Amino acid sequence: MDPLFAFDDAQCQALAEAHGTPCFAYSGRVAEGQLLALRAVLPARVRLAFAVKANSHPALLRRFATLGASFDCASIGELEKVEALALPPGRTFFAGPGKRAPELQRALALGVRIQAEGWEDLARIDALAGGEVAVNLRVHPAFDIAEGNRIIGGSGPSAFGVDEEDVPELLARAATLRHVRIRGLHVFAASNQRDAAKLLAIHGAVLDLARRLCETHGLVFEQIDLGGGLGVPYAAEEAPLDLVALGQGLSNLLERHSWFTGELILEPGRFLAGPCGVYLARVVRVKESRGTRFVILEGGINHLLRPLLTGQPFPVKAVGKTEGQVPVTLAGPLCTSLDRLGDVRLPELAPGDLLAFGTTGAYGLSEGMTHFLSHPVPPEAWVD
């Protein structure tokens, strides 16, 4: 089985016929495999919290909940989806740079651990809380190991967290609050990183930062949240993340930082959900224009916006066709020349042919612009 595609050609054909196109399909087996493979290498003191923004399909959330996952939410909508899972306390987190008072109120009522992004979060939580509330402080570090990628934004200005150099002033203000206690750190500094050594370098730098903060300011951290960022391959030549190296490296870090006795948290979205999804769409037209062959599909950036936003294309195959490879530009049906899904080489295509985009279980439909042009929202099939 091609690891880029959760379903083989016969399964893709059957799914397209059963659910109609365009559609998404998610493999419960593959999603479970991702979670169990990662869990198996992690030290017991690492908690896995699935980043719901990657894919909030209820069956996927239920499956991960059954397997013991915690959840990272970033809106009231995501909190409500996780609330429906009726989890025990301590398994839900709430992050986001623009939390409104009703969202904070809801998170407090649900006993969710909040990642405070700055003074406004701390002050609002303090005003809303009826008693002591432990929160994690999200810090935007000065180091830039993530190479300034477009998702995290590198070490420059950021809407996320409090800049590392401003932490001392913020802590002094936070000491005046009645209810809020900073009991953890949150740093998210990587995205789609398939190099375990680079991830571990970031995690090591975060633990060093945590130690400096605890030593300098007398803080005690129950949790250090290392964010997401675990990468997956999007092309045959891309090597997968070395999970054994990641797990071993995290064990080594915990040993090296024996001052820290709390739990580490990882919040992967892409790693846990990406590989389980395919997006299926049929060719509507093939058009030559001034030397470029456009293959116009039933769906475009209304369903898969990620490549346009980040420059990371999803892998694509022509279902049931392998002969020949011609360069084509994949376009969607929307009335904007931004509606492109990639410049790729595919076999000769004709109207009605089925394309499958692989590894679309994360940041696929959850990030699509489904309202734009009001095409029907594609069905999402959960296959177990």
Ligand X SMILES: Cc1ncc(COP(=O)(O)O)c(C=O)c1O
> What are the residues binding ligand X (CB under 6 A)?
51, 53-54, 72, 95, 188, 191-192, 227-230, 267-271, 362
Buried b / exposed e over 366-381, threshold 16 CB at 10 Å, is bbbbbeeeebeebebb
Q: Residue 45 has which token pair?
A: 């003191």
Name the β-bridge partners of 357: 279, 316
Q: Residue 330 has which token pair?
A: 């994949």
- Is residue 20 within 8 Å of residue 379, measured between CB atoms? yes
Residue 79 is classified by DSSP as: H
230 vs 330, beta carbon nearer ligand X:
230
Q: Is the peptide bond before 240 cis (omega within 30 degrees of 0)?
A: no
> Is-catalytic flag, 276?
no
121 vs 267, beta carbon nearer ligand X:
267
23 vs 114, beta carbon nearer ligand X:
114
Beta-carbon contacts of residue 121 (< 8 Å; ≥ 6 apart)? 99, 104, 114, 135
Beta-carbon contacts of residue 331 (< 8 Å; ≥ 6 apart)? 294, 295, 296, 297, 300, 339, 340, 341
For the CB of residue 55, give the shortest distance to ligand X in the complex, in Å. Answer: 10
List Cα–Cα distances, 284 to 260, 294, 302, 342, in angstroms. Answer: 57, 11, 16, 16
Single-letter code of the amino acid located at 104 = L
229 vs 315, beta carbon nearer ligand X:
229
Q: Residue 116 has which token pair?
A: 């405070």
Beta-carbon contacts of residue 29 (< 8 Å; ≥ 6 apart)? 384
Kind and range of the H or E run holding 223: strand 223-225
Q: Residue 35 has which token pair?
A: 């979670």
Could you give the residue numbers annotated as active site?
Answer: 335
